[in-house]
Amino acid sequence: MKSNSKVLILTAKYGNGHVQVAKTLENKCKELGFEKVVVCNLYSESFPVFSEITQYLYLKSFSIGKQFYRIFYYGVDKIYNKRMMNLYFKMGHKRLHQIVTSEQPDMIINTFPMIVVPEYRRKTGTVIPTFNVLTDFCLHRIWVHENIDKYYVASNHVKEKLIQVGIHPGTVNVTGIPIRSQFEDEVCKKEIYAKYNLDSSKKTLLIMAGAHGVLKNVKELCQSFISKSDNIQTVVVCGNNALLKESLDPLTHSNPEQIKVLSYVERVDELYRIASCMITKPGGITLTEATALGVPVILFKPVPGQEKENAHFFEDNNAAIIVNQIEDISEEVYKLLEDEHRLEQMKMNIKKLHVPGSADLIVEDIIKEAAYIKDKHMMAGSVNY
């Protein structure tokens, strides 16, 4: 089925994770020789203005809108079967029909909970094998629908949650979350230290500071590490946050052997490989990347919702430390870096959560499932496939 298969991958840009997973699966499908791979941000294409506003509000949830996002995230379960959800069921229906009609996909992969897709099958009778690739280490009910053919999840914990809400165990595969292939490459650490002009004899603290204001007072935090120990070198990745980088650059100039400040880093996996531990936000993709390379994580004040649920899952597995007060971060990181036994144990624990080759596992299984579903409906005489 590979060579002449067409796949439609639906995603949404609420954070970068859903889009990253879609891109990884797109690359894998192309690598396997699919005839056509279409990636669509369905909500942006259907309602560009509404999508732009809601994406902005989502980003604001990391700072001023945390309580509003908490109410939305935990409140959806209570209204799941009520009239207020009907709008979400319908969102994107017209655009989805246009794509299905023009592209004639053999299968649909969702990397964002697109309820309109299984609802499209329910309303039209058109059976296109449909698969959900969950992008967090927790379950939200909005992913769940009777017309989803299979779920691909990060862990047994998520599988158990799906089973608890009535999903058959045979339709849930624990495959991990797809991440960029570079995180599973073999790379020489010596070359990485040389590339970034870092000292291999020191502990390396990696701070992922550019994502949605994940960490406040970064400058003060860096200064505290400079003053506390000569055996710790700090690498701060600012991403596209030019103002943050500009504010930290003077620290680099005055303490070049203790702190490095970087903008966007394409091969961020290189920094993960030499990091003794990392301060970051608990997004599903970032955490999966950390599991691939065994990097213990410090998670500061997780946002209510999926990131808080992710954080608690990792903390429960002794693979992360949650810190809720900014003044406590420095002490917690320093204690961890000084405790070699605990550090090694956390590295082992976080590596245990990794499922290698996730994209391969998912796409290969989807190919088999789609063929089975197609044959089943052809035998049943389905005229709408």
pLDDT of residue 211: 56
pLDDT of residue 74: 56
Is 53's pLDDT higher than 60? Answer: no
- List pLDDT tens digits, range 312-361: 999 999 999 999 888 888 899 999 999 999 999 999 999 999 999 999 99
C-alpha 262: how far from chain center: 22
Is 268's pLDDT higher than 60? Answer: yes
Element (H, E) at 219: helix 218-228
Give the C-alpha distances (Å, rounded to integers) separating 125 from 10, 371, 374, 377.
20, 18, 14, 11
- CATH T-level topology, domain 6-176+356-379: Rossmann fold (3.40.50)
| 63 Cβ contact partners less than 8 Å away, ≥ 6 residues apart | 212, 213
Q: How confident is the model at residue 383 (pLDDT cuts 50, 70, 90)?
A: very low
Element (H, E) at 363: helix 358-379
Q: Please give the single-letter amino acid code of residue 234.
A: T
With tokens 């017209």, the residue in question is 94
- List pLDDT tens digits, range 181-225: 999 898 999 999 999 999 999 999 999 986 555 566 788 888 887
182-352: CATH, from 3.40.50.2000, 2.60.130.10, 3.60.15.10, 3.30.390.30: 3.40.50.2000
- List pLDDT tens digits, range 127-180: 999 999 999 999 988 899 999 999 999 999 999 999 999 999 999 999 999 999
pLDDT of residue 218: 83
C-alpha 49: how far from chain center: 25
| 106 against 4, higher pLDDT | 106
DSSP 143-209: G--TT--EEEES-HHHHHHHHHTT--GGGEEE------GGGGS---HHHHHHHTT--TTSEEEEEE-
| 379 against 34, higher pLDDT | 34
| 57 against 37, higher pLDDT | 37
| 183 Cβ contact partners less than 8 Å away, ≥ 6 residues apart | 269, 272, 289, 292, 293
- List pLDDT tens digits, range 254-265: 888 889 999 999
Q: Where in the chain is the domain with CATH 3.40.50.2000?
A: 6-176+356-379, 182-352
Q: d(Cα 285, Cα 271) in Å, to the nearest integer?
A: 16
pLDDT of residue 304: 83
pLDDT of residue 213: 53
Output the pTM of the full model.
0.88
